[in-house]
Structure 1
Amino acid sequence: MSPRPVLDVLRRHRRAAALGCGSSMLHQTCEALVPVAIGLAVDRAVATGDVHAVVLSVAGVLLLFAVLSSAGTFAFWVIDRAEFAEAHHLRTAVARAVLRDPAALGDRQVGDALSVATSDTRHAAEALGLVSFLASGCFGLLVAAVVLLRIDVALGLGLLVAVPLLVLGLQALAPRLEARVHDRQRTAGLAAAVAADLLAGLRPLRGFGGVPEAVRRYHRASSLSRRAAVGAAGATSVVVGVSTLATGAVLVATAAVAGTFVARGRLDVGEFVTVVGMASFLADPVRTISHCVQQLAVSRAGARRVAELLRPGAPRRPLEDSPSPAHVPVPVPTVPGEVLGVVTTDTATADAVTAAFAAVPGALVEPSHTVLLGQTLADALASGPVPAGRGVPLAAALEAAAAPTDLDLALHDGGTNVSGGQRQRIGLARALAADRELLVLRDPTTALDAVTEDRVAAGLRDLRAGAGTTVLVTSSPLLLSRCDRVVLLGPGGRHATGTHAGLLDDPDYAAAVAR
């Protein structure tokens, strides 16, 4: 998104914004003309007692209300549809940015990113409706001013001076409100992030007695969020209070001046009815304007947070040109159909190798930290459509990974109710069932005992041998002993290739796989 993210939202939905704005303007115009129609009916029908004029007046008012309601309904339909589409677009963009490059999160915690993807994207999309209704409110005031100018220049000029001053005054409050709302959104995201982290680590927290400290940290984050919310509510109250007071002042002043003019004979009965009705009508566009000014501050704050997450960072250099400590000059070459083991002497090298393979089109990378999505085991194992000509029966994948086979097994909060070993085996089964031509597994058995690990190593070898290229970035001797080939990426860019048994004589290799 550009530095003006709200404008991006409007550009993406130009047609819907134009239709919604035009329809809402028509709606406001018809509302502004209702007092005029009633005034004319009083002058030409009620005062004269002409039955034909009464019938025409009633028909005219009914037609005006029919157009009014139809235009309003169409405006809401168009704008709501565009807002839902834009919110979905922004949520998808945020999810895509984070999934493609977790570094896009920067220093944000997961809970804060979730707040951006849900609350802030919705607020940003609401700018479509707010801009349309703000324009229609201003247009309604303009129509009212024209009508009043035709009735009496003094009344019209008074409104033309008072209303812009009112709107400018309300707009002057918007930056303060926007800052408070942005702070509220930010602190709410941080509180959600702390809560998510604590829930994810609840078991170890209980194990080493860290629950009191966890509660203290969440209380601190929640208190910051509460204070920010109170500050935002206070700023909102100021805007609402000022707008309500200003609305009341406009109504009272208009009614008082119109009553004075009637007493002096400058207005007849129909014009008086029109002026009084117009004074009552003015409350609606004034409230609309004040509400839109207030909520646009919220939308700008939300849109800015979305834009900050989506703003691209500095371009990254290819792996082979990187001077990082990984010392991997080229991605490790593979042979179709083989099971390849990759052993590294430091984490940075393992990260670089994993990233290099992840960049290969069609590759599936299963990280060491397994995340299970869904409410049951069946949901967690669903990996989407299998490429044409490929496919592994789910039962075979579960057997190879020594994973639970009860597909109705309930999973809570990403699988926090199952052990780390079970979660790892379920993730491995999911990857095997996806049956990709290139499968990269990063430390897939770190949470397993030796017996289970040996069983998984055998099942993995049997299922994947010849079915596709499998890369195991690991230091597990049980896995490496079943690889067709093992590549050691040692310190200083040193490479060694062979079998697990053959490389055990290499001191660097022996140190890397020693347990």
Structure 2
Amino acid sequence: PHVSSRPVLDVLRRHRRPVAIGCGSSMVHQTCEALVPVAIGLAVDRAVSTGDVRAVVVSVVGVLVLFTLLTSAGTYAFLVIDRAAFEEAHSLRTAVARAVLRDPAVLRGRQVGDALSVATSDTRHAAEALGLVSFLASGCFGMVVAAVVLLRIDVALGLGLLVAVPVLVLGLQALAPRLEARVHDRQRSAGLAAAVAADLLAGLRPLRGFGGVPEAVRRYHLASTLSRRAAVGAAGATSVVVGVSTLATGAVLVATAGVAGAFVARGRLDVGEFVTVVGMASFLADPVRNVSACVQQLAVSRAGARRVATLLAPPQRQRAEVRPHPGHPRALPGEVLGVVTTDTATADALTQALEGVGGAGGTLVEPAQTHLLGETLADALASGPVPAGRGVALEAALEAAAAPTELGTALADGGANLSGGQRQRIGLARALAADREVLVLRDPTTALDAVTEDRVAAGVRRLRAGHGTTVLITSSPLLLSRCDRVVLLTGAGRHASGTHAELLADPDYAAAVAR
């Protein structure tokens, strides 16, 4: 995938056949729908008013055939387009997930929530372009059919409707920004309330410890109240838009019926044409509204497709932006290398630089924050196929990480039913079981007590020494004391190398590892 100047066109090109079929079927559906008032008008003129039984039967059969064709074409169009849209959305989501898993460096400069939004909302919006193009084409074609029918009946009346209905619909669209703003406020406040609730639940134990539950509840009550008010405001705005739209559409229909009735009284129109004009006035608002909505939604699809395409930019373009620290260490084969930094920015820069090569099959960068996926502990430990010629037993990895060994243990959302230390040890066991040629661990023991941390330090050393290159970005003396070599990196660009014991004489190093 590449960043295209017209990403929506890329989506359409990938599904040329379904789009063509969908547009054709939608046009047939819209044409049949436009011809319904014509068919009813003809039935009134040639069957109902004359009382001819044969004409009545022919009219009924004709209307049934028209509705059958209308329904079949519309159903087939929806089937083809929806299938293509679902396939495209799934393909884009899979491509985004593959890009992130293959090379975490593509997330540089993005928050996790933003990447999740791209993988869910933006991929869906991009795929919706397939249906929008179909509806746009059918809406335009429906307006053309309606224009031809109306102008053939009466030029003046036809022109009046063709001007009045679009003006009405576009005028109603002026209310859309108000509704959109209210809906945006509702979504934002609901998201804020959910975030506050999630934070409260995640920190419930420490909140109880220092008596902060009442304050947390007060803040959630405030966020919930704002969310409720925004929801009520959005519902009110929706009601206003729907009410005004209904009244305006009804007014146009009443006015059309009045003018057409006057024309019938003067003999300018017959009864069948009167029925056709009134029916066409009711129909015409639908394609005009569809065209207007599709034009607006296509802008959303273009924005979503652009965000997806940007995230799927070639990895080398993403990696080229990395500016490594001049003292970035070079680990030797089979070495356990410790890295100590004097500031978080340097550690982040080093992690990003290593993530830039993390797409290689033999390298794994395990971040400090652990994410557990799956319903059980066994699911969370699954790390995919192990590289050929390598392999570490899961039991050995769990033992080295001092992690829980009950593989059938159920996991709540992201391991929420486990302590922070348990989640961290499970993530470490998963990384060890993956048994990559190069394993990078960022602060793997920050949530552990000293006794458990010492067990983990010994386990990692035992499992990885001489078996693969291991880089530990940490300030833990227990981990660093078991490294073959330790490198100190400072924010000023200075670096030093030696064993943990040797580097303790360095003031910067001693300050960094002091606890």
TM-score, length-scaled by structure 2 = 0.83
Q: Distance in 2 between matches of 1:375 and 1:288?
A: 47
- The answer for the alignment partner of 2:242 in structure 1 is 240
Q: Distance in 2 between matches of 1:184 and 1:294?
A: 21
Preserved contact between residue 47 and residue 59 of structure 2 (Cα < 8 Å): yes
Preserved contact between residue 489 and residue 496 of structure 1 (Cα < 8 Å): yes
Q: Any idea what SS the aligned residue of 1:482 has? A: coil
Shift, 1:397, TM fit: 1.0
Q: Distance in 2 between matches of 1:444 and 1:127?
A: 44
Read off the aligned partner of 1:63 and give its amino acid letter: V
- The answer for the alignment partner of 2:182 in structure 1 is 180
Q: Distance in 1 between matches of 2:215 and 2:298?
A: 36
Measured at CA, do residues 297 and 335 of structure 1 come closer, stay the same or move farther in structure 2, by a change above 3 Å? Answer: same
Q: Distance in 2 between matches of 1:101 and 1:223?
A: 38
- The answer for the alignment partner of 2:355 in structure 1 is 358
Q: Distance in 2 between matches of 1:84 and 1:133?
A: 17
Read off the aligned partner of 1:185 and give its amino acid letter: Q
Q: Any idea what SS the aligned residue of 2:174 has? A: helix
Read off the aligned partner of 1:513 and give its amino acid letter: V
Preserved contact between residue 45 and residue 53 of structure 1 (Cα < 8 Å): yes
Shift, 1:155, TM fit: 2.5
Preserved contact between residue 372 and residue 415 of structure 1 (Cα < 8 Å): yes
Q: Distance in 1 between matches of 2:12 and 2:181?
A: 27
Measured at CA, do residues 143 and 216 of structure 1 come closer, stay the same or move farther in structure 2, by a change above 3 Å? Answer: same
- The answer for the alignment partner of 1:485 in structure 2 is 485
Preserved contact between residue 135 and residue 294 of structure 2 (Cα < 8 Å): no
Q: Any idea what SS the aligned residue of 1:496 has? A: strand
Shift, 1:191, TM fit: 3.2
- The answer for the alignment partner of 1:343 in structure 2 is 340
Instruction: Mark the runs of 5 or more structure 1 residues left unpaired by the alignment.
Output: 323-327
Map residues 409-448 of structure 1 onto 2, 5 A cutoff: 409-448=409-448
- The answer for the alignment partner of 1:383 in structure 2 is 383
Measured at CA, do residues 186 and 212 of structure 1 come closer, stay the same or move farther in structure 2, by a change above 3 Å? Answer: same
Preserved contact between residue 443 and residue 474 of structure 2 (Cα < 8 Å): yes
Preserved contact between residue 332 and residue 353 of structure 1 (Cα < 8 Å): no
Measured at CA, do residues 61 and 316 of structure 1 come closer, stay the same or move farther in structure 2, by a change above 3 Å? Answer: same
Preserved contact between residue 45 and residue 272 of structure 2 (Cα < 8 Å): no
Cα deviation, 1:364-397, whole Å, max 9, x if unaligned, reads 1222222222222112112223223322221121
Read off the aligned partner of 2:441 and give its amino acid letter: L
Measured at CA, do residues 446 and 484 of structure 1 come closer, stay the same or move farther in structure 2, by a change above 3 Å? Answer: same
Preserved contact between residue 143 and residue 284 of structure 2 (Cα < 8 Å): yes
Read off the aligned partner of 1:380 and give its amino acid letter: A
Cα deviation, 1:45-73, whole Å, max 9, x if unaligned, reads 66667777666555544433332122101
Measured at CA, do residues 38 and 298 of structure 1 come closer, stay the same or move farther in structure 2, by a change above 3 Å? Answer: closer
Map residues 247-326 of structure 1 onto 2, 5 A cutoff: 247-268=249-270, 272-280=271-279, 282-287=281-286, 289-290=288-289, 293=292, 321=323
Map residues 75-90 of structure 1 onto 2, 5 A cutoff: 75-85=77-87, 87-88=89-90
Q: Any idea what SS the aligned residue of 1:13 has? A: helix
Q: Any idea what SS the aligned residue of 2:175 has? A: helix
Map residues 13-412 of structure 1 onto 2, 5 A cutoff: 13=12, 15=16, 16-17=18-19, 19-44=21-46, 57-85=59-87, 87-88=89-90, 100=105, 104-105=109-110, 110=113, 118=120, 122=124, 126=128, 128-130=130-132, 132-133=134-135, 135-268=137-270, 272-280=271-279, 282-287=281-286, 289-290=288-289, 293=292, 321=323, 328-360=325-357, 361-362=359-360, 363-412=363-412
Measured at CA, do residues 11 and 482 of structure 1 come closer, stay the same or move farther in structure 2, by a change above 3 Å? Answer: closer
Q: Distance in 2 between matches of 1:9 and 1:256?
A: 45
Shift, 1:398, TM fit: 0.9
Read off the aligned partner of 2:330 and give its amino acid letter: P
Q: Distance in 2 between matches of 1:23 and 1:8?
A: 25
Read off the aligned partner of 2:155 and give its amino acid letter: V
Preserved contact between residue 178 and residue 297 of structure 1 (Cα < 8 Å): no
Cα deviation, 1:92-112, whole Å, max 9, x if unaligned, reads 677667964556446xx94x8
Measured at CA, do residues 488 and 207 of structure 1 come closer, stay the same or move farther in structure 2, by a change above 3 Å? Answer: same
Measured at CA, do residues 283 and 407 of structure 1 come closer, stay the same or move farther in structure 2, by a change above 3 Å? Answer: farther
Question: Could you say what the CA RMSD is over the residues aligned between the two structures, in angstroms?
Answer: 3.8
Q: Distance in 1 between matches of 2:117 and 2:490?
A: 42
Read off the aligned partner of 1:437 and give its amino acid letter: E
Identity %: 74
- Between stretches 482-491 and 157-166, larger displacement belongs to 482-491
Measured at CA, do residues 100 and 334 of structure 1 come closer, stay the same or move farther in structure 2, by a change above 3 Å? Answer: closer
Preserved contact between residue 331 and residue 357 of structure 1 (Cα < 8 Å): no
TM-score, length-scaled by structure 1 = 0.83
Shift, 1:401, TM fit: 1.0
Read off the aligned partner of 2:145 and give its amino acid letter: V
- The answer for the alignment partner of 2:466 in structure 1 is 466
Measured at CA, do residues 306 and 34 of structure 1 come closer, stay the same or move farther in structure 2, by a change above 3 Å? Answer: closer
Q: Distance in 2 between matches of 1:194 and 1:307?
A: 31
Q: Distance in 2 between matches of 1:284 and 1:468?
A: 71
Shift, 1:294, TM fit: 6.1
Preserved contact between residue 391 and residue 434 of structure 2 (Cα < 8 Å): yes
Preserved contact between residue 143 and residue 287 of structure 2 (Cα < 8 Å): no
- Between stretches 459-468 and 491-500, larger displacement belongs to 491-500
- The answer for the alignment partner of 1:325 in structure 2 is none
Measured at CA, do residues 213 and 168 of structure 1 come closer, stay the same or move farther in structure 2, by a change above 3 Å? Answer: same
Read off the aligned partner of 2:334 and give its amino acid letter: G
Shift, 1:484, TM fit: 1.8
Measured at CA, do residues 355 and 137 of structure 1 come closer, stay the same or move farther in structure 2, by a change above 3 Å? Answer: closer
Q: Any idea what SS the aligned residue of 1:493 has? A: coil
Asked which structure has the greater RCO (Cα within 8 Å, sep 6+), the reply is 2
Read off the aligned partner of 1:373 and give its amino acid letter: L
Q: Distance in 2 between matches of 1:480 and 1:382?
A: 28
* Count of residue pairs the alignment pairs up: 502
Instruction: Mark the runs of 5 or more structure 2 residues left unpaired by the alignment.
Output: none
- Between stretches 21-30 and 88-97, larger displacement belongs to 88-97
Shift, 1:293, TM fit: 4.7
Q: Any idea what SS the aligned residue of 1:343 has? A: strand
